[in-house]
């Protein structure tokens, strides 16, 4: 096709040009800027999902949650995997249909978990009702570098822990306990994030039960 094209400028050598950069040559930094400019919103979300210090299966779970591809009862009903007559009620509250946004955010039981996590971090905010909005809001959090590593891990670990708890309630008839679940989430975050924070010289116990004080000692915004 190129051979058959007319020669527009005989004096100039024919060469490929990367139009997204001023120099005309393809540089990875220019490519990154181009992707940010054309897909800025999803990129800030993916930074919260593909966290290298969190287990890969949890990262993949986060991606499924963002894309509304979790196998919730409403999703399975839509696919025809479960029959029309089968209840799609949320396993925690029993009053609303189990959608991704309800089971991970909107459910009154789950809402208390998010409230406790914000309290742990010592911020007051209204949690958005959609996973994508939550991740966008979370990505906008302005913290010191060392704090950001912990902050970014929270939504992924919370959502994954809620889903695991939901599965245990559904398949093993376990009764969910809010306090135990919040403790477990904090321990998971501490266990996964702390080894990657070389400047954080505090015990696991301090991290879980006294995070405010730890952050204060680090010189966080108070």
Enumerate binding residues for Zn ion (CB under 5 A).
90, 92-93, 107
Distance (Å, rounded) from C-alpha 178 to C-alpha 108? 11
95 or 213, CB closer to Zn ion? 95
Alpha-carbon 202 to chain mean position? 25
Q: What angle do CA 195, 42, 30 make, to 5 degrees?
A: 90
Q: Shortest gap between Cβ of 62 and Zn ion (angstroms)?
A: 20
93 or 118, CB closer to Zn ion? 93
Decide: 97 and 134 in contact? Cβ < 8 Å.
no
Q: Shortest gap between Cβ of 192 and Zn ion (angstroms)?
A: 27
112 or 212, CB closer to Zn ion? 112
103 or 189, CB closer to Zn ion? 103
Cβ neighbours for 199, distance < 8 A, ≥ 6 positions apart = 146, 218
94 or 219, CB closer to Zn ion? 94
Q: Shortest gap between Cβ of 150 and Zn ion (angstroms)?
A: 28
> Would you call 76 helix, strand, or coil by DSSP?
helix
Q: Which residue has the tokens 């040559």?
A: 25
Distance (Å, rounded) from C-alpha 59 to C-alpha 182? 20
Q: Shortest gap between Cβ of 87 and Zn ion (angstroms)?
A: 12
Q: Shortest gap between Cβ of 149 and Zn ion (angstroms)?
A: 31
Handedness of CA 53, 57, 60, 62 (dihedral sign): negative
């Amino acid at each position: 096709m190129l051979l058959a094209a007319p020669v527009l400028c005989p004096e100039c050598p024919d060469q490929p040009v990367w139009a997204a950069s001023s120099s005309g040559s393809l540089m990875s930094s220019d490519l990154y800027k181009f992707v940010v400019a054309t897909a800025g919103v999803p990129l800030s979300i993916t930074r919260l999902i593909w966290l290298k210090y969190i287990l890969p299966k949890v990262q993949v779970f986060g991606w499924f949650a963002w894309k509304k591809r979790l196998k919730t009862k409403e999703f399975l009903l839509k696919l025809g995997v479960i029959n029309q007559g089968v209840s799609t009620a949320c396993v925690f509250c029993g009053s609303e249909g189990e959608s991704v946004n309800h089971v991970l955010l909107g459910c009154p039981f789950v809402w208390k978990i998010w409230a406790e996590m914000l309290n742990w971090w010592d911020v007051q905010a209204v949690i958005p009702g959609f996973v994508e909005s939550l991740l966008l809001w979370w990505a906008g959090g302005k913290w010191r570098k060392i704090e950001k590593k912990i902050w970014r891990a929270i939504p992924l670990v919370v959502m994954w822990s809620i889903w695991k708890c939901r599965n245990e309630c559904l398949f093993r008839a376990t009764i969910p306990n809010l306090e135990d679940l919040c403790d477990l989430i904090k321990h998971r975050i501490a266990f996964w994030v702390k080894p990657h924070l070389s400047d954080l010289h505090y015990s696991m116990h301090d991290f879980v039960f006294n995070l405010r004080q730890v952050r204060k000692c680090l010189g966080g915004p108070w």
